[in-house]
Copies of this chain bind each other. A is one copy, B any other.
Amino acid sequence: MARGRSAGGGGRPVTLAMVAQRAGVSAQTVSNALNSPELLAGETLERVRRAIADLDYRPHQAARSLRTRSSRLIGYGVAPTPPSISTSVLDRFLHALSDSADLAGYRVLLFAAPVGADDEQERYDQLLRDHSVDAFVLSNTHRGDRRPGWLAKREIPFVAFGRSWAARDIGDWVDVDGAQGTADAVDHLVAAGHRKIGLLGWPRGSGVGDDRARGWREAMERHGLPVRGLRQAAEDDAKAAQLAVAPLLDGPGGVTAVVAVSDTLALGVYRALRERGRTPGADVAVVGFDDSPAAALLSPSLSSLHQPLEEVGRACTRLLVARLKDPRAAPQRLLLAPELVVRESSAPHPGSLADPPRDEPPHSRRDPHTPPPPDPPAVPDAHPPTANRTASE
């Protein structure tokens, strides 16, 4: 074990040539042992491997990169996110991404990505030319996002966190199945006895928001429940939500439950209820989206849809590695289901009639006597929402 020694940093670096000499072979053979081990005779390979281990040799990326024009680097543009109640997204996602990329032999290179600036692509181009990054991970994809098209045209590998909401779906992506999430919420609320379930969404036009709204609508229809007049919208702001939800609560036959497409909106619902002397959970059930850290801390604690961000990060790496291996393979899309975390805001009241007994839930997750979902989601080429299935088909 000479590891301790060489980990001692400061000294001269171990080069491929030194390994070659120690193993009694040429430099090229060592290179092959690393990059095309199948070319070597078993015995030679073993000898080289031992020499590498003995010297604790690590190939110098810059040299390798100079020759091969690839860097084992993945570019990730950090966009300035508006302070929202659920901004730990980057945190969790980025850590998972970086972690899994590490395991696959890649590293994540950060750069500041201007949101929708004109020279947006310029920054990607810079990274490409300065550091020869092998691929990009996009996040915060939005309608009319030009990045996927731009990258695809140049045949630069990338994976997006968030489907490309454009008409023509481009490239690989991983996304959280928002529709599935809100549908789960509806199922859960219906099982608890609710019939009038409102939706508090974002203004139409955002891909994510519309998707989550669709899940609610489809689930309602599947249960044979009406949706007319049960949908309101607000920007992602608690105050705006507080006002926007009013029609749902005050209407002639007010709702008994509200599904909000974000925790921030859900908080607005809380306030609107309090304003009316009513209690979230007890009087009107509320389900949020994102499962922000605050959700568990509110009182009553907020039921919410937890996004599997760690899994999204790992999936991005997986898809990216596959893409790098075979640039022309069919595009892969992966929809991961969020998980409904039930808390006080939607839990049946202790002792109430609606309390579903453990042994025989009144409604199973996918109600048997209602027709199956009409169509696979309107996402072309998308795998059905099976969650993390390992690879393509």
Given contacts A85-B297, A129-B13, A154-B10, contact A109 B109 (CB under 8 A): yes
A132 touches B62 (CB 8 A): yes
Within 8 A of B (CB), among A127-144: 127-132
A83 interface contact, C-beta 8 A: yes
Contacts of A154 in B (CB 8 A): 9-10
B83 touches A110 (CB 8 A): no
A274 touches B293 (CB 8 A): no
A130 touches B299 (CB 8 A): no
Residue with the greatest number of chain B CB neighbours at <10 A, chosen from A10, A156, A297: A297
Contacts of A131 in B (CB 8 A): 61-62, 107
Given contacts A129-B58, A130-B61, A131-B61, contact A80 B109 (CB under 8 A): no
A213 interface contact, C-beta 8 A: no
A345 interface contact, C-beta 8 A: no
A9 touches B156 (CB 8 A): yes
Contacts of A238 in B (CB 8 A): 297
Given contacts A107-B131, A267-B297, A293-B83, contact A7 B125 (CB under 8 A): yes
A58 touches B293 (CB 8 A): no
B98 touches A111 (CB 8 A): yes
Chain B residue nearest to A80 (CB atoms) is B95
A109 touches B107 (CB 8 A): yes
Contact segment of A86-94, A183-191, A192-200, A251-259: A86-94
Within 8 A of B (CB), among A47-94: 58-63, 65-66, 71, 73, 76, 78-81, 83-92, 94
A235 interface contact, C-beta 8 A: no
- In Å, the complex CA distance between A94 and B89 comes to 13
- In Å, the complex CA distance between A267 and B239 comes to 20
Chain B residue nearest to A105 (CB atoms) is B130
- In Å, the complex CA distance between A235 and B47 comes to 53
Chain B residue nearest to A129 (CB atoms) is B58
Contacts of A155 in B (CB 8 A): 10
Contacts of A44 in B (CB 8 A): none
A112 interface contact, C-beta 8 A: yes
A221 interface contact, C-beta 8 A: no
A125 touches B9 (CB 8 A): yes
A339 interface contact, C-beta 8 A: no
Interface string of A10-44 (1 = CB under 8 A from B): 10010000000000000000000000000000000
Q: How far is the CB of A95 from chain B (nearest CB, A)?
A: 5
- In Å, the complex CA distance between A112 and B84 comes to 25
A206 interface contact, C-beta 8 A: no
- In Å, the complex CA distance between A274 and B292 comes to 22
A264 interface contact, C-beta 8 A: yes
A99 interface contact, C-beta 8 A: yes
Q: What are 22 A-B pairs at a CB distance below 8 A?
A: A9-B128, A9-B154, A13-B129, A58-B126, A58-B129, A58-B130, A61-B132, A62-B62, A62-B71, A73-B109, A76-B110, A78-B98, A81-B88, A81-B91, A87-B87, A87-B91, A94-B94, A98-B111, A107-B127, A108-B109, A109-B109, A109-B110
Q: A62-B71, A87-B87, A94-B110 are in contact. List 9 more A-B contacts (CB 8 A).
A: A60-B130, A73-B109, A85-B297, A87-B88, A89-B91, A238-B297, A267-B297, A292-B294, A294-B294
